[in-house]
């Protein structure tokens, strides 16, 4: 789920891990700081040394899940710049996002996992910074500038259409005889047009996309008080 390597101490890492396990098992309403501390083998007061409230602890877990998802994207882009192509990147994000339960919960409005905490303004801001739709929205101008997407209609309209498409693939169950992974690339190409970029343009787009995501990661870290660099 979330990267727990960057923590103030081993105790903080244990608390985060324990909180994540309990939340996934019970949801936010069924978990207390006392139970988290007991599972992490620390005193209740120790947890409050790092987080003032349960909400702050949960929101850090949420942020780490967003950072993990976006970090996977940038790592893949570094290893395979061709992933930046819309038909591939959209499919990659739609395929990997469900493995990040806190990202999925915020996008879906909370559910049993986060409940009313999904309405916290910080959760909404994380979704706007690093959610699947947000990443695509910020990469869209890069695609347009590098011959990877059509630029003959207004950017806001195009961004909304892309968001609607991705949301449908993320949230709508597919028929049993249909493979969404095979349908999505064709749907993206139908929406954005053919990918005419040369290989040099593709590499440039991948670098620009990684920089944009890194900027949003820094903003997400600042939002919950995580260090500004990944180390």
Q: Is the pLDDT reported for residue 8 higher than 60?
A: yes
Q: Calculate helix-pair angle for 199-224, 54-79, nearest 10 degrees.
A: 170
Percent of the chain with pLDDT over 90: 76
Express each pLDDT in 41-62 by its tens digit. 999 999 999 999 999 999 999 9
**Distance, C-alpha 201 to centroid of its chain:** 25
DSSP 8-state class, residue 121: H
Residue 129 makes CB contacts below 8 A (sequence gap 6+) with 66, 216, 217, 219, 220, 223
Domain range list for the chain: 66-224
Percent of the chain with pLDDT over 70: 95
pTM for the whole structure: 0.90
Closest by CA position to 11, among listed 39, 38, 46: 46
Q: Calculate helix-pair angle for 54-79, 86-96, nearest 10 degrees.
A: 140
């Amino acid at each position: 789920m979330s990267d727990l390597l960057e923590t103030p101490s081993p105790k903080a890492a244990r608390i985060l891990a324990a909180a994540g396990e309990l939340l996934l098992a019970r949801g936010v309403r069924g978990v207390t700081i006392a139970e988290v501390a007991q599972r992490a083998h620390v005193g209740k007061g120790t947890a409050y040394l790092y987080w003032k409230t349960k909400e702050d602890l949960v929101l850090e877990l949420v942020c780490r899940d967003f950072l993990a998802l976006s970090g996977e994207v940038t790592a893949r882009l570094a290893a395979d710049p061709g992933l930046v192509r819309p038909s591939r990147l959209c499919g990659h994000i739609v395929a990997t996002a469900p493995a990040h339960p806190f990202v999925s919960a915020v996008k879906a409005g909370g559910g049993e996992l986060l409940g009313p905490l999904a309405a916290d303004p910080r959760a909404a801001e994380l979704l706007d910074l690093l959610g699947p739709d947000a990443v695509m929205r910020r990469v869209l101008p890069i695609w347009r500038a590098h011959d990877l997407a059509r630029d003959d209609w207004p950017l806001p309209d195009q961004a909304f259409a892309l968001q609607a498409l991705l949301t449908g693939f993320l949230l709508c169950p597919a028929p049993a005889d249909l493979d969404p992974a095979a349908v999505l690339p064709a749907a993206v190409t139908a929406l954005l047009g053919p990918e005419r970029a040369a290989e040099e343009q593709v590499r440039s787009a991948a670098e620009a996309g990684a920089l944009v995501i890194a900027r949003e990661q820094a903003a997400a870290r600042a939002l919950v008080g995580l260090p500004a660099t990944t180390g």
